[in-house]
A and B are shown apart, each in its own frame.
Chain A
Amino acid sequence: MKAVIHVGLKPGVLDPQGRAIARSLNNLGFDEVTGAKQGRVIELDLKETRAALAESRVREMCEQLLANTVIESYRIRIEA
């Protein structure tokens, strides 16, 4: 199975890249954009076949390496 992990800065942590993206979209005329956040997506191929077990292992991976929980939060999606 596959795990798709989205890692992004926590609310309240300055995201200068997100701010630059929002400003650039405004410059292009997309006035409806009032904010942007830039994160990162990590896809893992797993040999585990049980979704619940896969998710708890991936959570450990996030805590140990994939996210820096001082500044980042993460979301995990397990796909068949």
Chain B
Amino acid sequence: MQTAVIVFPASNCDRDAAVALKKVTGRDPLLIWHRDTSIPGDVRFVVIPGGFSYGDYLRSGAIAARSPIIRDLVARAGTGLPVAGFCNGFQILTETGLLPGALLRNRGLKFVCRAQTLAVTNIESRYTSAYAGMDHVTFPVAHHDGNYFADDGTLNRLEQEGRVLFRYVGNPNGSARDIAGICNGAGNVFGMMPHPERAVDPLHGGTDGLGLFTSIVESL
């Protein structure tokens, strides 16, 4: 199965994402440069990787979200292509409007880098089905702007529609209602600040992240 990772200047988890995708698909993903203008038609799943695209200038993810590739990404996501963003990738997805809300500076003002316990709050989604029977997972977090914000109406809707897929256990950044990961209404676009792609090998300290990739790939 063909998958892809979008690469921006100063992405730094693009290779981690590529390794994770290869582990579950058996095939090297395409690395698509942000100045390209289209995602090949046979790509079935796209990852927006973590990093510090454009040095976090203006706002984290703001400049990347206006890159040439994004127009096609938004169009394809609108027709159902699964797209997942981790860390900076989540920030980029909120900046494109594919996911609601925004990521503010961490409440404690410090960069947070640690193993983070998450509660899996919905196992019915395309990104979490493999976690059936697992209440909690541990993924690394490493971010400065991970404080999820949305107005109360949006937060209520996310909760009512089962679109909060992960919550922090011990909130590291001040995120509203402990929200760690959300999906869009159609369930094909997902974003989270933690890094499942950095938890796919025993040498990473754990393999809890694999389930996220196997869930979405098996849904295709």
Q: When A and B form their complex, what is the total count of cross-chain residue pairs whose Cβ atoms lie within 8 Å?
A: 37
Q: Check if A51 is an interface residue, CB within 8 A of chain B.
A: no
- Give every chain B residue within 8 A of A66 (Cβ-Cβ): 58
Q: How far is the CA of A20 from the CA of B109 in the complex (A)?
A: 9
- Give every chain B residue within 8 A of A20 (Cβ-Cβ): 109
Residues of B within 8 A of A (CB): 58-59, 62, 66, 94-95, 100-102, 104-109, 147, 149-150, 174
Please classify how large the interface on chain A is, using the bins under 10, 10 to 19, 20 to 34, 35 or more. Answer: 10 to 19
- Give every chain B residue within 8 A of A71 (Cβ-Cβ): 102, 104, 149
Structural contact, A17 and B95, CB atoms closer than 8 A: no
Query: Which of A9, A13, A17, A68 is close to B62, meaning CB atoms less than 8 Å apart?
Result: A68
- Bitwise interface map of A from 68 to 80 toward B, beta carbon under 8 Å scored 1, else 0: 1011000000000
Q: How far is the CA of A40 from the CA of B64 in the complex (A)?
A: 19
Residues of A within 8 A of B (CB): 9, 13-14, 16-17, 20, 64-66, 68, 70-71
A59 shortest CB reach to chain B, Å:
17
- Give every chain B residue within 8 A of A68 (Cβ-Cβ): 59, 62, 95, 102
Q: Show 7 A/B contacts (Cβ-Cβ < 8 Å), sorted by A.
A: A14-B104, A14-B107, A14-B149, A16-B174, A17-B105, A66-B58, A70-B101
Task: Known A14-B149, A16-B174, A65-B62; judge A70-B105 contact (CB<8 A).
Answer: no
- Give every chain A residue within 8 A of B58 (Cβ-Cβ): 65-66
- Give every chain A residue within 8 A of B105 (Cβ-Cβ): 16-17
- Give every chain A residue within 8 A of B147 (Cβ-Cβ): 14, 16
Structural contact, B149 and A13, CB atoms closer than 8 A: yes
Q: How far is the CA of A62 from the CA of B20 in the complex (A)?
A: 37
Across the interface, name the chain A residue whose C-beta is closest to B66: A65
Across the interface, name the chain B residue whose C-beta is closest to A69: B102
Residue in A17, A66, A68 whose Cβ sees the most chain B Cβ within 10 Å: A68
Q: How far is the CA of A9 from the CA of B103 in the complex (A)?
A: 12
- Give every chain B residue within 8 A of A65 (Cβ-Cβ): 58, 62, 66
Q: How far is the CA of A20 from the CA of B150 in the complex (A)?
A: 22
Beyond known contacts A16-B106, A16-B108, A71-B102: 17 more, CB 8 A cutoff: A9-B104, A13-B104, A13-B149, A14-B149, A16-B104, A16-B105, A16-B107, A17-B105, A20-B109, A65-B58, A65-B62, A68-B59, A68-B95, A68-B102, A70-B150, A71-B104, A71-B149
